[in-house]
Amino acid sequence: MTTTAHETLERARFASEWEDWHRAHEARRADPHGFLAVTALFWIAEESQTFPGIPGRWRTSLDGPVVELEEGEWLRLGDATITGRHAFGAIAERGGVTVGFDGGVIEVARRGGRDILRPRRPDFPFLGSYRGTPAYAPDPKWRVEATFVRYAAPRRHEVGAAVDGLSHVYESPGYLEFDIDDETFRLVAFPGHAEGTLTVLFTDATSGRTTYAANRSLSVDAPGADGRTVVDFTRAVNLPCAYTDFATCPLPPAENRLTVAVEAGEKTPVARAEGEVTARGIEPTGTAR
């Protein structure tokens, strides 16, 4: 089939827009306090304990995380300096607050029903060595029209996590239906970050080969009144767990294991920050692969 000048121009425009998008996505990923700067993952217990490189003694309670800072120790919460005892209050699932400390920030969060701490340092060697994520060349064929089918009532989905012993619970509003090479597929959708948008977690026949084995993620624009939207697989991205052991990312629901090879979007990262599982969480081993 002969490619027309118009088609060539459209492919070039598509590729240029994708390059701009992916460049911005990489910049956010490599933020000095982003996920590539996470140096450890600590689980807060009911017993008060200290963690390496983090000020204070920490414990969890029915009212959320509590820190006891010794004389000379401090944390920064917004414009306020925390000293002594501070109770953060109950933190919602998948919520969190960020506090500053000498050398970086600490994410105080709740994942899988447990309160956690994740320190982030801009001088973390893994962040400094990051050189980008490989991806498939953007091909418009992987931008497919889809129909969102809404459930009569949201359906509860409990999915696994990148960390053993944790799980995540989502309320799915419905599923996306679309065709690839004349075959119909469905993907269960979860609520997106912006109002009305959707998030999809999936694996496919490239997973564990050219793409990250556990999952990839897609953001989908809010469907129209008729349910129509677009699933753009060229913008499938890796979640933090593809880069670091210090992530608690959700795994896709069983329904979202596509049998087709989606040769679009981000591929497996070339390096990974590794840690050692201890009773307190996951601490760095000093190695990356």
For the chain, domain boundaries: 35-130+275-288, 134-270
Distances (CA, A) of 205 to 87, 144, 183: 47, 18, 15
Could you tell me the two tokens for 153? 């009532």
What is the predicted pLDDT for the residue at 62? 87
What is the predicted pLDDT for the residue at 259? 96
What is the predicted pLDDT for the residue at 241? 97
What is the predicted pLDDT for the residue at 1? 55
Q: Which amino acid is at 212?
A: Y
Q: What's the DSSP call for residue 135?
A: B
What is the predicted pLDDT for the residue at 8? 86
Side-chain-side CA neighbours of residue 8 (13 Å): 5
Query: Residues of the chain whose pLDDT is less than 70?
Result: 1-3, 286-287, 289
What is the predicted pLDDT for the residue at 286? 63
Residues 6+ apart with CB under 8 A from 111: 93, 94, 161, 166, 168, 248
Which tens digit of pLDDT belongs to each residue from 114-158?
999 999 999 999 999 999 999 999 999 999 999 999 999 999 999
Total residue count of the chain as it appears in this document: 289
Q: How far apart (Å, rounded) are the C-alpha atoms in residues 272 and 252?
A: 21
What is the predicted pLDDT for the residue at 6? 80
Q: How far apart (Å, rounded) are the C-alpha atoms in residues 189 and 26?
A: 24
- CA 58 from chain centre, in angstroms, equals 26
- CA 35 from chain centre, in angstroms, equals 9
What is the predicted pLDDT for the residue at 287? 59
Whole-prediction pTM: 0.92
